[in-house]
Amino acid sequence: MNKFLPPDYHMHTHNSGDSKAPMEEMILSSIKRGLTEICFTEHLDLNYPILPDLPPNAFDLDVESYRNEYLHYKEKYAGQIILNFGVEIGMQDDCVNENTAFIKNGDFDFVIASQHLLNKRDPFYSDFWEADTVDNIFKKYFEVTLEDITYFTDFDVLGHIDYISRYVPKGDHTYSYERYNELIDAILEQLIRHDKGLDLNSKVLAYTDMNLLPNPCPEIIKRFKDMGGKIITFGSDAHTPDRVATHFEDMVDIVRSCGFTEYYTFKKRIPTAHKLL
């Protein structure tokens, strides 16, 4: 157990449509891992397409139920771990106003904005990649991400910036920062100009059967630093208790190698810097 791991600022419970994890089990796993602070970031992905293995409105969020459960456990575990109330917003151009209103009324500590879809298609499903070449899909994905963070601005960090790289067809090596550096740099510039940060997401490092890089890949993390980016948060994207703070030791090493000496936490949307230990 490492008591100097940074807080896990990206995790989901049964309040998210793709998790069945009890909130209390996520908390207990965090304490066991030696974390002193976490942030729940339940999904809100409005206008998500209807898919055969998901119910309609699978990623709508019952924020009142979520808040009540959070407040119960915040009180129960006071003195053992700091719990924060966050959300992960799925960006699409047809729900910018709804997302903005939701955040305004939500009283969240922390907001992640994530690009989960492209043209109402989810890269998790293999037929996503049949629509075009992998190269064109990556270009369009980064173009849409830039558009969406231009129009939807009420967030704190951009989630897993190269998210779709998790799901490329097996054996495909098209993706690299260098190949899409102009588009990625434009995204980073937009984030930095508006004091936004990056979610450093370790989820794929737990995929033992695949040789994958975290999201973002190290080259993007370093580029963000070189361009003047400061705000970074660590996230496991855990949907089950066993994945809390997964490979955070490796992520800390990567982040240090990219030049960062600080990470951030949030309270009522206010960022606070902490030294990487």
- Whole-model pTM: value is 0.96
Distance CA 80, CA 56 (A): 38
**Burial class of residue 74, CB neighbours in 10 A (0-12, 13-18, 19+):** middle
HSE at residue 180, side-chain half, CA atoms within 13 A, is: 27
CA distances from 138 to 121, 134, 165, 176, 205 (A): 13, 6, 8, 10, 21
Work out the number of other CB atoms within 10 angstroms of the CB of residue 96.
Answer: 16
Distance CA 258, CA 260 (A): 6
Distance CA 9, CA 206 (A): 17
Q: Going residue by residue through the chain (277 aa), what tens digit of pLDDT does each one get?
A: 455 899 999 999 999 999 999 999 999 999 999 999 999 999 999 999 988 788 888 899 999 999 999 999 999 999 999 999 999 999 999 999 999 999 999 999 999 999 999 999 999 998 999 999 999 999 999 999 999 999 999 999 999 999 999 999 988 999 999 999 999 999 999 999 999 999 999 999 988 655 678 999 999 999 999 999 999 999 999 999 999 999 999 999 999 999 999 999 999 999 999 999 8
Cis peptide before 216 (omega within 30 of 0): yes
**What CATH class has 23-275?**
alpha beta
Under a CB-based contact definition with an 8 Å cutoff, are residues 201 and 237 in contact? yes
- Closest of 259, 181, 250, 239 to residue 2, by C-alpha: 250
- Quickly list H helices, the chain: 23-32, 63-76, 96-104, 134-151, 181-193, 218-226, 248-257
Cα torsion 268, 273, 276, 277: sign: negative
